[in-house]
Amino acid sequence: MALIHCPACHARMSDKASSCPNCGVSRSEAGTESAERAVRELRRQKQRMTQMWRLLAMLLFVAGAGLTVMSGGGKSMLGVVGTSLAALGFVGYSALRVHALFSKRR
């Protein structure tokens, strides 16, 4: 059993497989309009998922910053929770941006 690249989405798949496990396109219909449509839909789904995670990270950051400001600093429990949420949102958003940067280079 050898690994080959899917002709539609270029993911690795077995040469014994009848269709790609990543995009679902069969090897016989690669290069057709339906295969291209399947690949476009897969890309759109990945973009939507990434956008959802970015939005969640930004919301965590804004909510955390708001809680920190409302608590008047960082000494109270509300301030600690706010600072933690803001830090989590910032780190999450930064990680998503770095991932996007490196995935575009491939």
With the C-alpha atoms ordered 19, 16, 22, 5, is the resulting torsion angle positive or negative?
A: negative
48-88 confidence digits (pLDDT tens): 999 999 999 999 999 999 998 988 876 788 888 999 999 99
Angle (CA) 6 11 16, round 5°:
50
| Contact between 81 and 62 (Cβ < 8 Å) | no
Count the helices and strands in the chain (H runs, E runs).
Answer: 2, 2
9-46 confidence digits (pLDDT tens): 778 888 888 888 877 777 677 667 777 787 788 889 88
Kindly state the tokens that stand for 43. 């890309």
Predicted pLDDT of residue 35: 73
Residue type, 58: M
